[in-house]
Every structure is written in C-alpha cells, then in structure tokens.
Structure 1
Amino acid sequence: MNILENPWFFISLWMGGAFSAALLALRFKFPVAIAEILVGAGLSHFLDLSNPTEWMNFLSKLGATMLCFIAGTEIEPEFFKQTWKKSLLSGIFSFFLPFFAISLFTHVFFHWPLARSIIAGIALGTTSIAIVYTSLLERGIENSSLGKTLLSSCFITDFGSVLTLGLFFTHWSFFSLLFGLLALIILWFFPKSLRSLLSFLKKSPVSEPEIKFIFFMLTFLGFLASMAKTEPVLPAFILGILAANAFSQEQLLRRRLRAVAYSILTPFFFMKSGFHISFHMLLVGFIPILLLTLVKTSFKIFGVFPYLLLEKHPIKESLYGSLLTSGGLTFGLIAAHYGIQTKILDRETYSLITLATLFSTLIPVYLAGILLPKHEILKEKEVVLKKELGEYEEEG
C-alpha cells in the first residue's frame, strides 16, 4: 500500500506541515495563513498530492465554515450600531466596484467565461477584517473615528461578498427555497436563546458544551445549505454576526473556539488552498497577476478613498485606510476554493486568482504601513496587542 494512503501518516504529514508553517510565520513575520498556503503548495508539488481525498475536502470546507463564523463574531455590536449607516456606502463601494471591475476585466481582456469572471470578482473584491483590525490595533487607533469607520465598512464588504457568492451560485428550486427558509427560521431564533443557553451550559465547563453547540449549529446549517445547493459559508457568517453580541461578553469562549479552529481546522482549508496552485503560473502568469492586483487595488482605493475624505479624514489617513482595505485573504480564498471544487476554475485560473489575492494583500498593506508608521502606543495598548494579535493573525 502507498504510504500516503495511510491516514495516520497523512494526518501527521498534514499537522507537521501546519507546524512548519507556524514556525515560518514566526521567523519571517508574515501571516500564518500565507505560510500554510505555501506549505500546502509545496506538499502538492513534491509529493504529488494534487487530488485530495474526500475527507480532506470535507475538513477543508469545515475549516472555511468555521473561519466565516469567527469572522462574523469579530463585529463589535455597539459601535457597529452607531456607524453602520455611515459605513454602508463605503462598504458597498468597497466590494462592488472591484467586483464589477475584475469581472468585466477578466471577461473582456482574458476572455474568461462569465461564471469564472464572477468568481474572480468575488475573490478579489473582499477585505480581510483581521488585517484591518490588527493594523489599527498596532497603531492604537482601533477606537478612533477612522478605525470604527473602516471596521464597519469591512463587515459590510465581507457580507456583500459572501451574499454574492451564495446568490450567484445557488441552484434555485422549490427545495432550495424550503431549506433556505428553514435556515432563516433557525437564524431568527438563534440570538434570542444564545445568551441564556450559554449561561446554562457554563455549569459543565469541563466538557465544553458551548463549543459542541456551536459546532452543532454550524454543521446543521451546513447540511441545510448543502440541501439548498448553496455554500455553507453564508449561513455560517450570518450565524457569527448574530452571535457577536453574546461573544463580546464571552471572551474566554471566543478564545477557546479560536484555539480549536486555528490549531486543527483552518490549516486544512489554507493548506488545501495551496494544493491547486501551479508554481509554473507564477512565472508565465506574472503579468496577468500584476494586472489583477493593480485593478483590484485601484478600484478599492477609488471606492473607499473619496468616502473617507468626505468624512473629513486627512488625505494621508484616507489613503492609508484605502490601502488597508485592499488586503483580503479568507473570503477571497473561499471564493476561489469554491470555484475549483465546482470546476468553474481550472488549475491555471485558480492559481492566477489565488496568487493575485496574495499579492493584492501583501503589497497594499505593506505600502499602508510605510505611509502611516506606527505611533507610540501606550503601555496598556501594548498589553492588548500582545493578547489580541495571535487571535487575528491566522485569518489575515
């Protein structure tokens, strides 16, 4: 029997790769997600693992679903209530301008089929909440007017990207509408009962019933989404948003859930995202990758920069915020991952989109850091940074 078919060897290889990625990220100070993608690409090429097994695909989907749920819980309910109306226009422009620009550009100039162009538009129209939050936190401005505006805008942007993916690629039928309605009913009652349920479940802290309940909700909604022939990430993100208020009061639960997700599940998603990358496309497709990066970044700036100026932020801060919103990993990779699993994307176009997602995250965020260097942060801010940075680095 081929040694790679032994599940014990394969899972040790997988977790060893995730551990190696964590070491690389610590050594070179870049996001763990990028390191896991690169390690996954390396395993795929050197061990000929380009065709993952069914259980690997499932764990990858579960990791993506968990990521979307956690991203939804990152919302701060109080300031979002205060700023969402102001940030609505910015969030809409932040997603839809690059979405339409990339979709049109790839359809007209690359001659991609419409479905492939839409996937590219969704993947490159997103913004990483983790990257934005971490950068604001490092500068001690997460509670400033600029920080609140950017974070509220990010939530609207990401909701738009997940909703667009669900709407465009749902196979509408009577049964999809029926299962979708059932999911909406569950989501409606979920926040009304969550807080009291969490208080009751605390009576048995050793068995972690709260985390089991979250996994039950995510997997059951994933079942309903699969029966409705749509993506499980959409109800997972909405569930996270609805749970945000309760999670804001349950920081320990949030940390425990992240520990489970980031140590076991998300490496399956990020490393499998690297499985389908062709290193050959990094050479032959370098110009298209740069073009996609340029189009995305330009339209992100065009969508966010004028709004920040209208909100009376200085030009330097407005440009900083615009560059920061260009960074997007998780939802971009989820869209690309969906594309290759459904065979809308082939390996070459998947590689172009994924590499453009990485480039359009690293370059603008690096330029934003140069434009607005870190301010002196109060000692208490440094304590918060040490506590929080590890929580957000996985996604962004």
Structure 2
Amino acid sequence: MDKLLHHISEAFSTPITNPVLVFSVILTIILISPIILRPIKVPGIIGLILFGVLLGPHGLNWLAKIDKDTLQGNGVDAIDLFSTIGLLYIMFIAGLELDMNEFKKTRNKSLLFGFLTFIIPISIGFPVCHYLLGYDLLPSILIASMFATHTLVSYPIVNNYGISKREAVAITIGGTILTDTAVLIILAVIVGASQGEINQDFWVTLGVSFVLFLFIMFGVIPRIAKWFFQKIESEKTAHYIFVLAVVFFAAFLAEIAGLEPIIGAFVAGLALNKLIPHSSALMNRIEFIGNAIFIPFFLISVGMIVDVSVLMKGPMALIIAGTLTVVAVTGKFLAATATSFLAKYARNDRNLIFGLSNAHAAATLAIIMVGYDREIIDENVLNGTIVLILITCIIASLVTENASRRIVMAGHQDDEHIEHVPEHEERLLLPIANLDTMEPILDFATLIKSKKSPHPLHILSVVADNEQAERNMANARKNLDSMAKYASGSETDVELLSTIDFNIASGIGRTSKEILADCLILGWPSATSFIDKIVGEKTESILNRTNTNLFMCKFDNPFLSNKSMIIFVPPLAESEKGFEYWMEKMLKLVGELTLPLTFVCNKRTQLAILEVLKMLETSVPCSFDNYEDWNNIYGLATFSNADALLVFVSARYGDVSYRDSLDGLAKRVGRYFKKQNLILIFPSRRENQHIDDYEDVKTAPIFRKISREIGNMFTKE
C-alpha cells in the first residue's frame, strides 16, 4: 500500500514528468477549454494559450518541457515535437484554405490592399519600436513586420451572415496571401542577419536556393501529388500521410534553402491548394486532426513560455504590451481606411476589411516564436504579443460582426435577387444502383451540397416487390451501411432510406416527393435489355415520375485528372425553372475543384448566363464559345478536351428547351466520350404542366418515339 501511495505521489509531483499523464492533462485542457470559455466569448486560440500560462512553469508548474539531459540517449521532448508539428500545421492550413479564384478575380485591388496592409503597419511600427521603445535594428524590423501579418479569425462571422462573396471580403483574403508571404521572406533575412551572415554570398545563396525551392514546390510536388492521388485512389489513409509527408518535406527543404520551416509549410499549402477541394474528405481529415491535436498542443506550449509575472515587475512590460497593441490596431485601421478611400468603398466595407484584417493570431505567433527562439526578441515582447493577440482577436470579432449586420440590414447579401432553392432547405436524394460507382457520386454530392442546409444527404435503396423482397431488403441495408461508413470519412451526415416498390423508378419518384427532394443524383444509365427498350427505360421512367432537378453522373476518373469544366447549354435552357439551381451547383463544384469554366451556347443563352454570374458574384474564371447548330449534337465534340469534365444540359420531353437532338443523349454521349467524366443535367420543371402526367408511364416512351419519327418525316426538307 505504501509503495502504491509513493508511486501515485511521485507521478503527481510537479512538474509532471510521466509522459502518459502529461498527455492526459493536455488532452483534458483541449477538451474543457472551449466548454469553459465559450459562454464568455473568449476565442478558442486565446483559451488554450491561457491554460498553457496557468499550468506552465510560470503558473501552477504542472507542465514543463522535459530536460533532455534526464532522458536516455538523445530523446525529443513530446511537447516540443507536437508543438513544432502544430506550428507547421497552422501555416500549412493557412495556405491550403486560401481561395485562389477569389484572389485572381480581385487581383488588382488585392495587390493594393496587400501593399497598404504591409507597408503602413511597418512604417508605424519600426520607428515606434526603434526610437520609442529603444530596441535595436533587427528586433525593431521583426516586431514591425509582425504588425503587418493578420489571421482571418473572424471569417466565419462573414460566412454566417451570407456576405462571404462580397468584394471587400475577397480583397482582404487576397491581401492575406501577399502580406504574409512578404513578412515570411523578411523573417528569413532577419534570421540570417542575426547570425551575422548578411553579405553578397548570403543574397546570392538565398536567391538561388529560394528559386530552387519554389521550382520543387510548384513545379515538381503538384505533379507527384496529382499522380499519387490518381493512382492510389482507394487508399484514403495514404492520402493524408502523403500530405503530411509533403508538409514536413517542404519545411525541411525551406530550412536547407536558408528559410524558416514555417515558410515551407505555408508554400506546401499553396502548392496543394488546387488538388484538395475544401469540402473533400481529405480536407476534413487534415483540419480535424490539426484542430484536435497538433494546433492545440502548439498553443498550449506557447502559453507555457509566457511569464505573467514579468508584466508585474515594472511599468516597462505593461508599456510594451500596450504600445504593441495600439500600433497593431492603428496600422490595420489606417490600411483599411486607405484601401476604402482608393477603391471607393462605403464605411461598412471599410469596417469589414478592418475587422477581418485586424486579428493577429497564427502567423504573428509563428513569427514571434521564431524570434524568441533565436533570441532576437525578449520576454517582454513575447508577453506583449500574447496580450496583443487577445485584444486584436476580440476587436476583430466585434467589428466584423457589427459591419456584417449593417451590410445585411442594408439588403446587400450575396443571394439577394436570385430565385433558387433556399440553401438552408436544400435536400439531395442519391438512389443506389451500382455500389462500385457510388463513392465518387457521394463525393460529388458532398462538394455541391449547401453548407447551410441542416438536412443530411438522403441515400435510397429501392427493392423490387417480389418473392425475394425480404432477402433483397437485407442486402440493400448492407449496401446502405457501407455508404454511410464511406460518408463518415468526410463527416457528411446521411440518412439511409430503403423501400419496396413494384419498380425502381416508381420507388425513387415516390421517395423524392415524400422527402421534398430538390435534386436527384443518379449514376450513369447502364446498358438496357430489349424489354426495357420496349416498355421504357428506367432513366426515362424516373424523369417522367419526377419534376425536380436531376443529375446523371459518370465519374470513371478522379476529379484531379480534370483541368477544366465545359458546360454545353442548349438554346432556351435559361427559360427552365431549374436554370439558376444547376448554375449555382456547377459553379460550387468548379470552385471546389479550382478549375476554369467554359460555357458552349448561343448568344441569347450567353447573356442569361452572364446575368446569373453577375448576381452570384462568382470568382470562377469563365469563358464562352458560341455554337448555333444544336440539332447536330455531335458538333459539340470540337469544343471538348480529353482532360475536361464535360457537363451536358438537357431537358425533359415537353419542356421549353427540349429538342429531338437531346433524345437519348446519355447513351450517345456515354459512347462518344467513354474515358471522360460526364454530368448530364435535367433542370426541374413546374408540376402538372406536361402531357406525361396523363399518360401511362410504362407505355408512353415507345408511342412517343413512333409519333416523333412520323412527325420528322413530314418536317424534313
């Protein structure tokens, strides 16, 4: 018993050295920090730092970095290891999450804001640090460059208010890329200078190594990544391990090139940006593991370094903390004001830019930690920076929320004039036909699904009502379970539905009406039997029994193999009820995949598409090719590329844009473009407006085809 008590007291003696107990304590902090601090509106990043301060060596002394001398051999401290991973992870995600299409769209104004938000804070910060606070040249430049960075901590607020597509938001995101990149390059120079290496050889070596580094990261790595994602498609775990390997390889490569590892991680994010869609399962894994383990470890380790008692030792520490905060807020406010004046933005947009760019968090922390580890800056600046982060994050959240609310009250939301399915009500239905083709279709549905909709993806299996119905139902449930397991990889909510009906088309049509589905997503129609051809194929029967938007998909290749998207839009497609809906979904898809988009249509349809593009304020690069001979569908082949994702817009029989040349389009397109990813779209139609409602659905197609051919005999010249 005494031995047991002694063992327990030894384990719990401070600081805790038992690695299992240290890990348990840190996981407990990660778990309870948001729960405790959420009611008082303290940002999660601040909460974890505060807990690090409380439990670190300068607080209760529960956690401390293990002295390497006490370890056998050359061990590495677990907290050090995890926090290093977390630091690199923050910079990697910062590069990965940037919307490159938005940056391209607002390039000039982004360059203007990026320049102003970089130069103004530095111009104010350097003289204040050098002349007022009395720091030497290098520390003054480092601290001043820290003022130029910002983290988009308050971006979720803008997203929630539905104004994320506003130009002021886009240029702030673009400015983030520019200012953070510039500051990280300055950091490399400062670190070199601190080691006394600034001479002609330093600049030549830095220039050459930087060019080589960029060539490997943007010329070699994306090609390897694309090949890997395509060839090892089934091994989802391998994708994540590969991404992680790229991040650390990039960090190591940057170090060899004389740069900081965090620059390598940031560039790795930019290099893989186009290859990892923001709504994909892989992106979900990257963010989940980073936000759950690595990044919290880093934030807690930052708190462990902070010595609050320094702030109490004299007025100098408080003066430094206050000065840093005032300079940081003032610099960003002046940059936002100057940008608004030159770009002729209203006051609310100015406040929006200021709110989004005022928060100093990830990059600021990364830069200051490098400076502190290299002994370029002192403890006062480190502690002052923590105070700065706390205050600027709170100001950013309050200003952004206030500006967003005013913009919405003025009626300037993204979707103000567009008639489409409300995103918060959207329901998608995916009937299972062939399990082998369902995984890419489920990925497609995840990419186009509205993020505002609380409804899950509805996955349906229809079982024919015959003597084997019971056995078939059991198999159907197994198939549904495997789909649910796959969907959980991207944290996609699914609802599994199974039903018995006389035929599959009837079951799909009935379920679609029961759940009020806005869109049906089907696999590509397979080869049909002779009986199917006589009484009406399943696909045509489904079209007849539903009025909602319907997407047929053939995804034989990974999305990464596509370099562009081409949408073939027939005349009068703009008159269909579902026109805006499918436009919105395709723009969402092409935005996720970061592809350029080309519309092939006539002049009238082009004008209608341009109007919708203007209303949606999309950042996707769009171009147009003119085609007038829509009775000759095979003529469209001249516009296609072997590596393009092809989208054909069709229509149900009797719709305004329907024409004979669209009949049987799925079969003809599937035969002609065998090796390409294809989507066939049937827009929604108004109910009870079509002769099909009065026909016998099973026998209608054959009579309709006969009557159409007879009609063609008399109309041919």
TM-score interval, smaller chain: 0.7 to 0.9
SS of equivalent to 2:451: helix
Do structure 1's residue 150 and structure 2's residue 172 form an aligned pair? yes
Change (3 A) 1:249 1:373: closer
Do structure 1's residue 11 and structure 2's residue 78 form an aligned pair? no
Give the TM-score, by structure 2 length.
0.50
Contact kept? 2:92, 2:267, Cα under 8 Å: yes
Structure 1, 290-299 or 364-373: larger mean CA deviation: 364-373
Alpha-carbon displacement from aligned partner over 1:206-252 (angstroms, at most 9, x marks no partner): xx111111111111222223334431110111111121111236622
Contact kept? 2:163, 2:404, Cα under 8 Å: no
Which structure has the larger Rg over C-alpha atoms? 2
Inter-partner Cα distance in structure 2 for 1:354 and 1:339? 14
Structure 1, 49-58 or 100-109: larger mean CA deviation: 49-58
**Aligned mate of 1:141, from 163, 171, 189:** 163
Change (3 A) 1:252 1:48: closer
Look up the match of 1:127: 150
Amino acid at match of 2:339: Y
**Aligned mate of 2:126, from 84, 103, 106:** 103
Contact kept? 2:114, 2:179, Cα under 8 Å: yes
Shift of 1:21: 1.7
Unaligned runs of 5+ in 1: 392-396
Amino acid at match of 1:141: I
Look up the match of 2:232: 201
Change (3 A) 1:177 1:80: closer
Inter-partner Cα distance in structure 1 for 2:453 and 2:264? 32
Contact kept? 1:64, 1:334, Cα under 8 Å: yes
Do structure 1's residue 237 and structure 2's residue 254 form an aligned pair? no
Shift of 1:85: 2.5
SS of equivalent to 1:294: helix
Look up the match of 2:385: 353
Look up the match of 1:373: 405
Look up the match of 2:368: 336
Look up the match of 2:140: 117
Contact kept? 1:140, 1:381, Cα under 8 Å: no
More helix by share: 1
Inter-partner Cα distance in structure 2 for 1:257 and 1:366? 29
SS of equivalent to 1:278: coil
Look up the match of 1:295: 327
SS of equivalent to 1:5: coil
Look up the match of 1:85: 108
Look up the match of 2:250: 221
Contact kept? 1:92, 1:160, Cα under 8 Å: no
Look up the match of 2:215: 185
More strand by share: 2
Inter-partner Cα distance in structure 1 for 2:250 and 2:270? 14
Higher relative contact order (CA 8 A, sep 6+): 1
Change (3 A) 1:282 1:19: farther
Shift of 1:332: 0.6
Do structure 1's residue 167 and structure 2's residue 156 form an aligned pair? no
Shift of 1:25: 4.1
Change (3 A) 1:43 1:157: same
Do structure 1's residue 384 and structure 2's residue 384 form an aligned pair? no
SS of equivalent to 1:248: coil
Inter-partner Cα distance in structure 2 for 1:164 and 1:65? 18
Alignment of 1:35-50 (within 5 A): 35-44=47-56, 45-47=59-61, 49=63
Amino acid at match of 2:234: K
Inter-partner Cα distance in structure 1 for 2:170 and 2:231? 33
Structure 1, 299-308 or 208-217: larger mean CA deviation: 299-308
Shift of 1:178: 7.1
Structure 1, 330-339 or 41-50: larger mean CA deviation: 41-50
Change (3 A) 1:163 1:24: farther
**Aligned mate of 2:342, from 304, 310, 324:** 310
Inter-partner Cα distance in structure 2 for 1:79 and 1:11? 41
SS of equivalent to 1:46: coil
Amino acid at match of 1:184: L
Look up the match of 1:394: none
Alpha-carbon displacement from aligned partner over 1:344-392 (angstroms, at most 9, x marks no partner): 22322210122123222322432343344263778636973699xxx9x
Contact kept? 2:250, 2:261, Cα under 8 Å: yes
Inter-partner Cα distance in structure 1 for 2:100 and 2:226? 14
Look up the match of 2:40: 28
Amino acid at match of 2:368: A
Inter-partner Cα distance in structure 2 for 1:122 and 1:270? 21
Contact kept? 1:278, 1:348, Cα under 8 Å: no
Alpha-carbon RMSD across the aligned residues, in angstroms, is 2.8
* Deviating 4+ runs (over 4 angstroms): 48-54, 171-182, 281-284, 376-379
Look up the match of 1:259: 288
Shift of 1:37: 0.6
Change (3 A) 1:160 1:198: same
SS of equivalent to 1:128: coil
Change (3 A) 1:353 1:114: farther
Amino acid at match of 2:61: L
Change (3 A) 1:175 1:154: closer
Amino acid at match of 1:189: V
Shift of 1:7: 1.1
Inter-partner Cα distance in structure 2 for 1:347 and 1:371? 36
Contact kept? 2:86, 2:290, Cα under 8 Å: yes
Change (3 A) 1:229 1:57: farther
Alpha-carbon displacement from aligned partner over 1:58-77 (angstroms, at most 9, x marks no partner): 32121111111111011222
Shift of 1:9: 1.2
Give the TM-score, by structure 1 length.
0.87
Q: Identical aligned pairs, as a percentage?
A: 21
Shift of 1:98: 0.9
Amino acid at match of 1:251: S
Inter-partner Cα distance in structure 1 for 2:232 and 2:84? 27
Change (3 A) 1:328 1:385: farther
Inter-partner Cα distance in structure 1 for 2:424 and 2:22? 42
Inter-partner Cα distance in structure 2 for 1:195 and 1:249? 16
SS of equivalent to 1:384: coil
Alpha-carbon displacement from aligned partner over 1:105-143 (angstroms, at most 9, x marks no partner): 111111112222223223222111242x22321221111
